């Protein structure tokens, strides 16, 4: 397996990098048409990013977890996630870049986004592996989106939005769930709403009472829902998000470990070090050194 090249810092790709009219806030390109893809160096995006791999073979490092890259794989990334991927064969497929503005127009309510578990950082896998039949049945939707983005005729936004919604809905049906959504009911919805709130407020809120109040439920209701859905407490989801941010800061900046601790609202750097080791299995210094070298 080829090693991912070393990167001193994570470049961020912006919506202004989109091809065509930037005001459309949506971009779709073929993997086989871009010489700069795959990107084997760690980087991030300030937009939603969907990788549709018709043909590929390699490794995808996503927020420091490694996933297999193979034919008919789909990867879902939210703004700010760090990733890099390689392929030992010339990849074929599509990249969909969706700005937060475009996404907000598609899903004006937080509950709408909560229906799609692959867009939540705190739980769920960012990878979905399709069968050939599943891949081929949805491919025409991507081809229709491609045609609309190229022609830019009147109403193209509505067509793209409709095709994208159908695509995401079909992918959601295939996404593995711990229990049927009909049985899980409000527990899944509440857990997903918490995921979105954690992403917005994990550095601001200090207690679970604040999260519960913001979601208009009791702390007990919140914990029961999260345990039923993902087998963890609500507090553990918050801690996991803080640990993820610590990993990003350690590998992407030269900021001292004590300063990172203070930035994440830890008053005692020693306590931060213990917290980080509990969630990552290594000390902050060891983790930083590990990701300063090429990844095997």
Tell me the average pLDDT across 137-154: 92
Owner of token pair 């879902």: 76
153/150 Cα distance (integer angstroms): 9
- The predicted structure's pLDDT at residue 3: 43
Please provide the DSSP assignment of 119-186 as one string: G-SSSS-SEEE--HHHHHHHHHHHHHHHHHHHH--TTHHHHHHHHHHHHHHHHHHHS--SS-HHHHTH
- The percentage of the chain sitting over the pLDDT mark of 70, rounded to a whole number, equals 85
The structural domains of the chain, with segments of one domain joined by +, span 20-174, 185-290
Q: What CA dihedral angle connects 218, 221, 226 and 231, to 10 degrees?
A: 130
pLDDT level of residue 120 (50, 70, 90 thresholds): low
- Cα angle 76, 204, 273 (rounded to 5 degrees) comes to 80
Indicate whether 293 pLDDT > 70: no
The tokens for 124 are 């769920």
pLDDT averaged over the chain? Answer: 84
Q: What is the pLDDT of residues 80-111, one digit of tens each?
A: 888 999 999 999 999 999 887 777 778 766 56
The whole-model pTM stands at: 0.71
Gap between the Cα atoms of 28 and 150, Å rounded:
9
Count CB neighbours of 166 within 10 A: 13
pLDDT of residue 36: 80
pLDDT band at 152 (very low <50, low <70, confident <90, very high): confident
- State residue 114's pLDDT score: 64
Q: What's residue 16's pLDDT?
A: 59
User: For 186-231, what is each residue's pLDDT tens digit?
Assistant: 777 788 789 888 988 999 998 999 999 999 999 999 999 988 877 8
pLDDT band at 127 (very low <50, low <70, confident <90, very high): very high
Q: In what order do the strands lie in the sheet with 58-62?
A: 12-13, 43-45, 82-87, 58-62, 65-69
Q: How far apart are CA 283 and CA 280, in angstroms?
A: 8
In this predicted model, what pLDDT tens digit does every residue of 155-195 receive, in sequence order? 888 899 899 999 999 999 998 765 444 444 577 778 878 98
For the domain spanning 185-290, the CATH number is: 1.10.10.60
Rounded distance between C-alpha atoms, residue 30 and residue 75, angstroms: 15
Determine the topology of domain 20-174 in CATH.
Answer: Jelly Rolls (2.60.120)
Where is average pLDDT lowest: 206-220, 226-240, 282-296? 282-296
Q: Are 17 and 31 in contact (CB under 8 A)?
A: no
State the chain's maximal CA–CA distance in angstroms.
59
Do 20-174 and 185-290 agree at the fold level?
no
Radius of gyration of the chain (CA): 20
In this predicted structure, what is the pLDDT of residue 99? 82
Give the strand order in the sheet containing 92-98: 26-30, 92-98, 48-55, 73-77, 127-129
117 CB burial (10 A radius; 0-12, 13-18, 19+): buried
């Amino acid at each position: 397996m080829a090693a991912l090249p070393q990167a001193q810092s994570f470049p961020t790709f912006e919506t202004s990098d989109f091809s065509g009219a930037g005001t459309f806030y949506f971009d779709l390109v073929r993997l086989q048409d871009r010489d700069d893809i795959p990107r084997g160096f760690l980087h991030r995006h300030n937009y939603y990013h969907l990788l549709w791999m018709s043909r590929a073979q390699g490794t995808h490092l996503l927020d420091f977890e490694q996933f297999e890259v193979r034919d008919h794989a789909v990867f879902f990334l939210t703004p700010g996630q760090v990733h890099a991927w390689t392929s030992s064969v010339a990849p074929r497929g599509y990249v969909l870049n969706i700005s937060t503005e475009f996404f907000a127009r598609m899903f004006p309510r937080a509950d709408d986004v909560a229906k799609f578990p692959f867009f939540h950082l705190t739980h769920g896998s960012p990878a979905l592996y399709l069968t050939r039949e599943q891949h081929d049945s949805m491919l025409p939707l991507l081809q229709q989106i491609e045609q609309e983005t190229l022609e830019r005729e009147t109403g193209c936004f509505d067509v793209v939005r409709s095709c994208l919604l159908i695509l995401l809905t079909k992918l959601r049906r295939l996404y593995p769930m711990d229990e049927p959504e009909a049985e899980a009911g409000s527990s899944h919805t509440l857990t997903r709403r918490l995921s979105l709130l954690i992403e917005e407020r994990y550095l601001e809120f200090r207690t679970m009472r604040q999260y519960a109040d913001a979601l208009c439920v009791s702390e007990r209701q919140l914990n029961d829902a999260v345990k039923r859905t993902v087998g963890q407490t609500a507090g553990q989801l918050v801690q996991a998000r803080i640990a993820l941010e610590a990993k990003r800061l350690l590998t992407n900046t030269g900021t001292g470990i004590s300063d990172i601790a203070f930035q994440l609202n830890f008053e005692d750097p020693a306590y931060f070090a213990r917290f980080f080791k509990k969630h990552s299995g290594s000390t902050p210094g060891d983790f930083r050194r590990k990701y300063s070298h090429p990844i095997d």
